[in-house]
Amino acid sequence: MKKWICSLSLCVAALQSQAQVKPFQQNDRVIFVGNSITEAGAYVSYIYLYYMTHFPGQRLVIMNGGIGGDKASDIYRRLDYDILAKKPNVMVLTFGMNDTGYFEFNEDNAAERAKQRIAASEASYKLVEQRLLQMPALRKILMSSPPYDETAKIGGAVFRGKQAALAEVVKFQEAAARKNGWDFADLYRPMTALNVKLQQQDSTFTLIGGDRIHPGNAGHLVMAAEFLKSQGLAGKPVAVVAIDAKKKSSRTENCSVQGLQATPTNIRLQYLAQSLPYPIDTVARIWGNPQRQADALQWIPFTEDFNREILRVAGLEKGNYALKIDGRQLGVWPAAEWEQGINLALLETPQRNQAMSVMQLNLRRAEVEARLRRYFWVQGNYFDKKKMRQQDDAAALDSVRLAAKTDGMLRYHEENYETAMYKELRALWEQEIATITDLIYKVNKPVAHQLEIVKI
């Protein structure tokens, strides 16, 4: 066992630097393929929400293709009937957490058995790879798994050596991406480094969660941020307005200003941004994990990287100045802070409220999509292995009901399957997703607002 476990720092250092990932484009149909971390859907939904708010005129579809428990071999088995059937032109493929095993790390000869599981994972991946190489029009992105947290001092089972095994999977994923000229997004390395850093301050901290495997909403925001960074999107502002009250002039980025009236004590203008601020959720939505999306703001510079809507005013007289948007006062700041800049994305502005509506609609979209993922969970984890894939008749339902009596996970999915087995209802769910998405791309368009900065 000891021969297998390398130090965490050495495992992380062994990984090569990641390649840049091309941002998604207008009309892309993107599918994220993975295991239960992907099926949970939060990071996929957060990435989609960024595109919905930052590029409101660039419509695209991002789909969840995760199934809990999946290894590379399971992904290969469902590739055609589940993933490619959705007609994506971009695929983001991730695996590794289940491939590397769990309780096997506590058994005899764990190191040798881990090597065998890694080899089996790579062999199964190569089957997937060969299938994908037959599809040159499909853009492929390999993405590493988030880390397994074996270092947090939180009690419970710890599978020593699993993190190192994951590092080996990440290495062959990255090598495969480079060999094929595919993009590679690394979540494993930056998240591991951040987890270790924060545990130096608090040994009980975990970026992941109590089970050391499944991130909560905050961990999913870190995953989303790392993916967006790999696409080169960090640092792109929502909008920036810089006004010189003395010169009565303005400079803008990703927005426009009309009708500027400026004196050293009063500023008026019409402001139209090209993006919306990114709305941050404050509710824990992943069962069994108390993390809220907002918690991640303490761990990563998400606001600085992805959520800056800056209004900066130079040349004001000394004193305090109120900000009004569409006649409503939102706060008061001294002239010195105005010169540094106020981040409107952190205020309850009309544009933030508009973005919150987009967030709520996106949550509803993801909830409907989750029903379809639970249907495919039953197909992949039960029927596929019984040679009854998508049979979906009375015999299939009876089989599920019987097996669910002794299979807790199947029992969890049983009720959803009783509805989802009807293709007509699944088609209605697909239509509901499309309807919600249509609505999102109507309400996400920025509108002009009247801004006033007045000396108190």
For CA atoms 226, 230, 233, 235, give the dihedral sign. positive
Reported pTM? 0.94
> Does residue 99 sit in helix, strand or coil?
coil
Residues near 209 by beta carbon (within 8 Å), at least 6 away in sequence: 149, 215, 216, 219, 288, 289, 291
Q: Give the pLDDT confidence score for residue 8 in this predicted structure.
A: 42
The class that CATH gives domain 8-230 is alpha beta
- The 8-class DSSP code of residue 315 comes to S
Read off the pLDDT of residues 228-261 as tens digits, 9 standing for 90 and up: 999 999 999 999 999 999 999 999 999 999 999 9
> Does residue 47 sit in helix, strand or coil?
helix
Q: Which residue has the tokens 């803008």?
A: 252
Q: Which residue has the higher pLDDT, 155 or 448?
A: 448
Q: Where are the domains of the chain?
A: 8-230, 239-274+308-456
Cβ 153 vs Cβ 203: under 8 Å: yes
Q: Which residue has the higher pLDDT, 439 or 156?
A: 439
Percent of the chain with pLDDT over 70: 96
Q: Give the pLDDT confidence score for residue 20 in this predicted structure.
A: 84
> Residue 360 corresponds to which tokens in the numbers above?
């709520």
Cβ 273 vs Cβ 446: under 8 Å: yes
Of the pLDDT bands very low, low, confident and very high (cuts 50, 70, 90), residue 9 is: very low
DSSP 3-state percent helix, strand, coil across the chain (nearest 5) = 45, 20, 35
pLDDT > 70? residue 151: yes
Read off the pLDDT of residues 342-381 as tens digits, 9 standing for 90 and up: 999 999 999 999 999 999 999 999 999 999 999 999 999 9
Length of the chain: 456
Q: What is the mean pLDDT of residues 72-97?
A: 97
